Amino acid sequence: MQFNYMNTNFFAAAAAALALVACKGSEMKPLNGYIGPSDLQITDGHMTPEVLLSLGRLSDPQLSPDGKTILYGVSYTDIGENRSVRNLFTVPVEGGEPTQLTMDGKSLSSARWSRDGGSIYFLQGGQLYKAAWANGVLGRRVQLTDVEKGIDDYLLSPDESQLLYVSSVHSGVEVPSDTDPLLDKAEAYATEDLMYRHWDHWRTEISHTFLASLGNGVVKEGLDLLEGELFELPNGPFGDIADLAWSPDGRFVAYSCKKLTGKQYAFSTNTCIFIYCPLTGETSQVTFRGGYDTHPVWSPDGSRLIWLSMARDGYEADKVRLMMGDVVYPASEEGQSANPSVTGICELSSSFKYNVDAPVWAADGQSIYFAALAEGIQGIFNVIPGEEPVRLTSDTLWFDFGSPFGVLQDGTLLTTYASMDFPTELVAVTDNSIRQITFENEHLLGQLDKHETEARWLTTVDGQKMLTWVLYPPKFDASKTYPAIEICLGGPQGTLSQGWSYRWNYLLMAHQGYVVVLPNRRGTTAFGQPWCEEISGDYIGLNMQDYLTAARNIKAEPYVSGVAACGASYGGYSVYYLAGIHKDVYDCFIAHAGIFNEEHMYFTTEEMWFPNWDNGGLHEFAYAEGQTGPAGDGVTFGGLKQGGSPWSTLEKARRHYANSPHKLVQNWHTPILCIHGGSDFRVPYDEGMAAFNVAQMMGVPSKLIVFPNENHWILKPQNALYWHRSYFEWLDRWMK
């Protein structure tokens, strides 16, 4: 076996720097409610859920205008208080001692440098503040906004005279007080269209973006860019301020928006790029039909615009392409205030087989940096328009790198990286050599016993190669036996890469004495679009055989005593389906937020484009009467043609529903744990209840756990701790 030792030995380089992690900010007095780094002592070298939840979570690095200092935030968790607080830090680009800027009891977020580097903007308590920064000290804070419904995110114009901020407006989903103010204590939701709830919330309000001037007193309200329209900006539920971008001269705003509502919204991913002029209030459309067009970014001189794009409407796992267009500014009597047009649109990634993510322009405007998951590892790439993308981080570096947030004059890239062995840290990358800048969690992770990770390329039943990561327990001894966990990936389109997760943490699993098996079965996104697309319309086909291939491969090892299959979302679907077909391959199952009954799922989920495509519709798209929707077998509903619906006559759709996991329960015989969040509107929690109920009726050892106030993910600290403890208690009961 060939092992990669780079991840496990990165701590050796950190040891010499450990003395540098004390913060200058220790002279500050913590405010009420402050949560700081954990002083947890690990005496046995063992990773536990408590250790996982005690780690600092570094995020959102920002390079100062002079290129010398990095501003970032770290969130710390107090399990007893069941909450986390995020505070601000700086660190020199060259590395060294971080400086803690704040010790607040309420989180600070979206921290940004002023253009002269002398001040820092940030959000706290839903409002925008500004504070002077000098010599590593944050000065008196000045409140810049007092917006009634609060601010979720913001974007300053280049000269800092104008502010775009995100707040909420009424969506059209009715509550009783909308009809009678005296019914303010009544609780009900009323709607006459689809998309009335999303992810984990009833859509009584949606995000809009507002424009306001700074410097004229505290901002209380701004101009709504979508006044009177029931569209979202940014796009829900996970869109952020990266959906908007100021032009370098501050005269225009490019933004991404899905200008659809109700059924049209629910069945379509047609999200387009628009340009808005603050001076005139005019909006022009840049892109039109297709799937998601997101993340617009102007070139430094404003002459070009890039964005990410999917070609096919309704297919959320389509290839993510990097597009570019020339920005043409028409002359006008109002001083060139007329909206520019974007011409000569072309794809910069047509020969690139992977998905592009988070593109940023080089300072000279001659090339573009971006991140991409490629062959199971996320690397950094650069593309010069008209040329082939070039990988800047070697695939021998077993880390997931983020897109650069800064490029130094000598070409050094400033970015983040993580692996299965450690969470996000800041790093400098030069010619494939890396220099870690922060060591946020070395004081905890450095106390853990080390383990080994292997990359196996398995041969599938149809002769293809599948990357399967294998993590071994610390102090692994091949002469002994260990239980194994096979992870069934959710999505279903995603990737098991060298990333870090606080929900499904493979290092933690290995430290509990398990061999952890991570097969990148077909449907994963880091191996080219053909491999990804083999899962759509074929949930029960070769990707299930891929799981069985990986399970049998590891089970054949003399040091493996048995295999459990565990997964979330589509991974939960996989668990429920494998429970009905595996015979004697697996010894235990855990399904989190899994799909059990595909017909019921179709009727109760919210983003209808997803099952309509993946459940066998695989539709091309028809445009008629101003509507966009999936073209399937000609059966229509609400003006939208259905491709992957339960009543579809398409062969793949009929096969899909005929083989829903709930149709195979007569074969269930293996212990199964079903977990679900009560606020999960993507896969409603009665899917988990139904699976558990059936297991009980069939006499299968089973357990149900429902978190009433959690969504598709378990996020609250004490809930997360209970989730992890329950996960391992179930595995240990049946596997050890």
- Are 605 and 614 in contact by the 8 Å Cβ rule? The answer is no
- Measured in degrees and rounded to the nearest 5, phi and psi for residue 600 equal -65, -40
**99-126 b/e (C-beta count within 10 Å ≥ 16 → b):** bbbbbbeebbebbbbbeebebbbbbbee
Identify the pLDDT of residue 640: 52
**pLDDT tens-place string over residues 590-637:** 999 999 999 999 999 999 999 999 998 865 444 344 444 444 444 555
Quote the tokens at residue 115. 């253009």
Backbone angle region of 531, left / alpha / beta, with phi > 0 → left and psi within -120 to 50 → alpha: alpha
Identify the pLDDT of residue 16: 33
Strand 422-430, strand 413-419: pairing: antiparallel
**pLDDT tens-place string over residues 88-116:** 999 999 999 999 999 999 999 999 999 99
The residue-averaged pLDDT of 665-680 equals 99
Q: How many residues does the chain have?
A: 736
The residue-averaged pLDDT of 151-162 equals 98
Query: What are the beta bridge partners of residue 128?
Result: 123
Is 669 a residue of the active site? no
d(CA 702, CA 704): 7
Identify the pLDDT of residue 10: 38
Identify the pLDDT of residue 336: 56
Catalytic residue among 243, 293, 614, 680: 680
The residue-averaged pLDDT of 268-273 equals 95
Catalytic residue among 119, 247, 403, 569: 569
Among 713, 662, 709, 680, residue whose Cα is nearest residue 606: 680
The residue-averaged pLDDT of 717-722 equals 99
C-alpha separations of 2 from 303, 354, 456, 487 in Å: 49, 26, 9, 21
Helices assigned H by DSSP within 504-643: 506-511, 529-533, 542-555, 570-581, 598-604, 609-614
Identify the pLDDT of residue 332: 66
d(CA 76, CA 678): 26
Q: Exposed, middle or buried, 581 (CB in 10 Å: 0-12/13-18/19+)?
A: middle
- Measured in degrees and rounded to the nearest 5, phi and psi for residue 62 equal -135, 125
Report residue 22's pLDDT band, with 50, 70 and 90 as the boundaries. Answer: very low
Percent of the chain with pLDDT over 90: 88
Is 569 a residue of the active site? yes
What secondary structure letter does DSSP report for 404? P
Percent of the chain with pLDDT over 70: 92
Identify the pLDDT of residue 619: 55
Identify the pLDDT of residue 14: 39
**pLDDT tens-place string over residues 353-382:** 999 999 999 999 999 999 999 999 999 999
Among 315, 169, 318, residue whose Cα is nearest residue 607: 315
Question: Within a 10 A sphere around the Cβ of 555, how many other Cβ atoms?
Answer: 17
Quote the tokens at residue 572. 């939960």
Q: Assess whether pLDDT exceeds 60 at residue 247.
A: yes
Helices assigned H by DSSP within 269-356: none
Q: Assess whether pLDDT exceeds 60 at residue 121.
A: yes
State whether residue 192 is helix, strand or coil: coil
The residue-averaged pLDDT of 477-501 equals 98
The residue-averaged pLDDT of 659-685 equals 98
Catalytic residue among 451, 511, 656, 712: 712
First vs last C-alpha separation in the chain: 25
Question: Within a 10 A sphere around the Cβ of 462, how many other Cβ atoms?
Answer: 10
d(CA 393, CA 721): 35
Output the average pLDDT for the chain.
Answer: 93
**pLDDT tens-place string over residues 309-356:** 999 988 999 999 999 999 999 876 555 568 999 999 999 999 999 999
More confident of the two residues 633 and 170: 170
Strand 83-92, strand 413-419: pairing: unpaired
Of the CA atoms within 13 Å of residue 592, those in its CB half-sphere come to 24
Report residue 431's pLDDT band, with 50, 70 and 90 as the boundaries. Answer: confident
Identify the pLDDT of residue 515: 99
**pLDDT tens-place string over residues 188-241:** 999 999 999 999 999 999 999 999 999 889 999 999 999 999 999 999 999 999
Among 45, 49, 51, residue whose Cα is nearest residue 474: 45
Identify the pLDDT of residue 641: 58
d(CA 235, CA 99): 35
State whether residue 665 is helix, strand or coil: helix
**pLDDT tens-place string over residues 547-577:** 999 999 999 999 999 999 999 999 999 999 9
Can you say how many angstroms the Cα of residue 362 is from the centroid of all Cα atoms in its chain? Answer: 25
Q: Assess whether pLDDT exceeds 90 at residue 649.
A: no
Identify the pLDDT of residue 333: 59
pTM: 0.94
Domains and CATH numbers, the chain: 144-347 (no CATH), 453-597+665-735 (3.40.50.1820), 606-659 (no CATH)
C-alpha separations of 488 from 174, 300, 471 in Å: 39, 43, 15
**pLDDT tens-place string over residues 378-420:** 999 999 999 999 999 999 999 999 999 999 999 999 999 999 9
- Sequence-separated (6 or more) residues with CB below 8 Å from residue 185: none
**Tokens 């405010």, located at residue:** 31
Report residue 17's pLDDT band, with 50, 70 and 90 as the boundaries. Answer: very low
Is 208 a residue of the active site? no
Backbone angle region of 420, left / alpha / beta, with phi > 0 → left and psi within -120 to 50 → alpha: alpha
Identify the pLDDT of residue 616: 87
Question: Within a 10 A sphere around the Cβ of 551, how many other Cβ atoms?
Answer: 22
**Tokens 């810049």, located at residue:** 144
What secondary structure letter does DSSP report for 31? P
